[in-house]
Amino acid sequence: MKNLIVPAVVLSVTCVVAAASLALVDTVTKDKIAENERVEKENAMRVVQPRATGFKIVVKDKLWEALDGDTVVGRVLSAESQGYSGVLSIIFGIDLENHVTGIKIVTQTETPGLGAKIIKPSFTDQYRGKPVDQLFLKKDDPAKGKIDAITGATISPRAVTKAVREALDAFLRGELTAAGAAKETTP
């Protein structure tokens, strides 16, 4: 019995120290992580709406107005979709005619060298200027599709295209509203 008490005490102390250390690290880093995520999202919004000098939240984490001073120059929407290896998080802009001004893949875990090519301008630039009815892969809908897939990686481009099309379509149908929206503007 005595032989079990010492290891049990050592294990218990080790667990308490480890738990306390993890709690301390979480407390110290969570604000910095949140700030880094906010800056990353804002930088992505500036990429997809380069004319904007600020953004006003319309629907938290879903829809922002892109502002040049007090003038609305477009909107920014977020979208998510299941890719080949995980969830894709996308930010994209639209102009006042509801054509895509740009897209930015914020997070992705697609296969390096294949699906991960969705982050390259050679893929993302294809969306610029497109209305919702052209947001299909050419191989999926040759009549409407204006987006080329990536050779050897159809699932990832299809997921991006579907996410952008569905988010824009939801916006156009009026499913994103200002109900409960924050009124703060970021510089």
pLDDT in tens, 26-36: 888 878 877 88
pLDDT in tens, 112-137: 888 889 999 999 999 999 999 999 99
| CB burial string 125-159: b at 16+ within 10 A, e below | ebbeebebebbbbeeeeeeebbbebbeebbbbbbb
Q: Please, which residues have CB within 8 angstroms of residue 83's CB and are 6 or more apart in sequence?
A: 108, 109, 110, 115, 118, 155, 156, 159, 160
Number of residues that this document lists for the chain: 187
pLDDT in tens, 61-91: 899 999 999 999 999 999 999 999 899 999 9
- Domain range annotation of the chain: 51-180
Q: How far apart are CA 175 and CA 49, in angstroms?
A: 22
CA atoms within 13 A on the CB side of 112: 0
Q: Taking a C-beta distance cutoff of 8 angstroms, is the pair 145, 139 a contact? A: yes
pTM over 0.95: no
